[in-house]
Amino acid sequence: MKQSSLGLGTSTKRTRRREFLDEMDRVVPWSDLVVQIVSYMPEGKRGRPPFPVESLLRIHFMQQWFTLSDPAMEEALHDMPLFRDFAGLGGWDDRLPDESTILRFRHVLEKHKLVERILATVNLLLGAKGLMLRSGTVVDATLISAPSSTKNADGERDPDMKQSRKGQQWYFGMKAHIGVDADSGLVHTARGTAGSVNDVIEANSLLHGQETDVFADAGYQGAHKRPDAKDGVQWHVAMRPGLRKLLDKAYPMDALTEQVERIKASIRAKVEHPFRVIKCQFGHVKVRYRGLAENTAQLHTLFALANLWMVRRRLSRGLA
C-alpha cells in the first residue's frame, strides 16, 4: 500500500523518528483496524476522490505520536517526506489531505465510537499473543491539564474541565482513569472524567469482569462497598500512608503487613507505565480539544498505541 515519496524523500539516514515509525508500522494491525472503519467512511461519489482509509488512519496515529494538531499535521505532510511515506501518500506534486479532511476523519471515529474499537481490536491481538492474562487488574487515574485562561473566543474556561487538588497543589483539567492487566501492565479499559471526579467513583467501571483480583492505591478505599461493585472480585487496596507510617517494624505482625504493602506496591507500579508512555513518549501532557467527549476519545487511541509501544519488540521478534 505504501509508496515512496518523490523528490527529497531519498534520505536513508536512520533517524530516531524513522526508527520509531518503522517499529510501529510493523506492530500496528493495520488491516484489522481498517476493516472496523471503512464501512463508516463516505463513499466519495461526489467531489474529489477520497483518500485511502489506511492513509488517514496512519495520519491520525502520527498526530498522537508527535502531538500534532490538524493544521500542524497538514503542514508536516507538506514539509516531511518521511510522514508522507509512512502515510502511503505520493510526492511533492500529489494531492495531500488538508486539515479539514484530517478533522472529518477524526469526527467519524468519534461519532461512531470507533476509538473504543481500536483499543478493543489491539487488545484482541495482544490477547491472542498471550500478552494479557485477564486474571488481575490494576486501576489508577492521572490528571491531564487543560488551559485555565479565559482569553479565547468564548471568554471562559472549558466547562467540562474542573479543578482537582493533589497534595497541596490545585490542577485544572480532566482525569484519565485506566484498568490495566496486572501481569503485563497493558491497558484494557480507559475512561475520561472531569478532574473533580473522585477516583473511587470510576473504580468498578474499570474492570473487564473476568478478573479475580484488583490492586489499587489508597484513594480507592471502599471501592468494594460501592453499589456497582462486582461479585467475586478481591480488592487489594493500599493502606493509607498515615497508618502505614505508624507500623512498628520490630513487631512481627507489623513487619508482615509492611511486606504485604510492598508486594502490592510492586504490582500497582505497572499501572504507571502506560501513563509514562502517553505523557513522556507521546507528549500528551495537556488536553488538545475543547470538551470531555473528544479528549476521552483521544485517550482510547493513545492507550491502544501505548499498548503496542510497550510490547513492540516482543511482537516484532515474534516471541509473544
Please give the mean pLDDT across all residues of the chain: 91
Confidence band for 167, pLDDT divided at 50, 70 and 90? confident
Q: What is the pLDDT of residues 226-238, one digit of tens each?
A: 999 999 999 999 9
Q: Measured between alpha carbons, how far is 128 from 144 in angstroms, rounded to an integer?
A: 32
Kindly indicate the confidence band of residue 5, based on its pLDDT and cuts at 50, 70 and 90.
very low
Rg (CA), the chain: 22
What percent of the residues of the chain are helix, what percent strand, and what percent coil, each to the nearest 5?
50, 15, 35
Give the residues across from 139 on adjacent strands.
179
More confident residue, 143 or 93: 143
Q: What is the pLDDT of residues 138-159, one digit of tens each?
A: 999 999 999 887 767 777 889 9
Domain boundaries, the chain: 16-112, 134-293
3 has a pLDDT exceeding 60: no
Q: What is the pLDDT of residue 320?
A: 42
The position carrying cell 472480585 is 233
Confidence of residue 4 (pLDDT cuts 50, 70, 90): very low
Confidence label for 47 from pLDDT (cuts 50, 70 and 90): low
8 confidence band (pLDDT: 50, 70, 90): very low
Question: Considering only CA atoms, which of 43, 295, 53, 271 is closest in space to residue 173?
Answer: 295
What would the grid cell of residue 176 be? Answer: 484519565
Average pLDDT score over residue span 244-262: 94
Residue 134's pLDDT band, with cuts at 50, 70 and 90, is confident
Q: Is 280 exposed, middle or buried (0-12, 13-18, 19+ CB in 10 A)?
A: exposed
Check residue 133 and give its pLDDT.
Answer: 82
Write down the pLDDT at residue 10.
54
Per-residue confidence (pLDDT) for residue 319, from 0 to 100: 43
| Distances from the Cα of 156 to the Cα of 149, 163, 293, 295, angstroms | 8, 14, 18, 18
pLDDT of the residue at 165: 84
The mean pLDDT of 301-317, rounded to a whole number, is: 93
Report the distance separating Cα 206 and Cα 64, nearest Å. Answer: 23
Section 76-82 average pLDDT: 94
Local confidence band at 299 (pLDDT 50, 70, 90 cut-offs): very high
- 80-99 mean pLDDT: 87
pLDDT band at 2 (very low <50, low <70, confident <90, very high): low
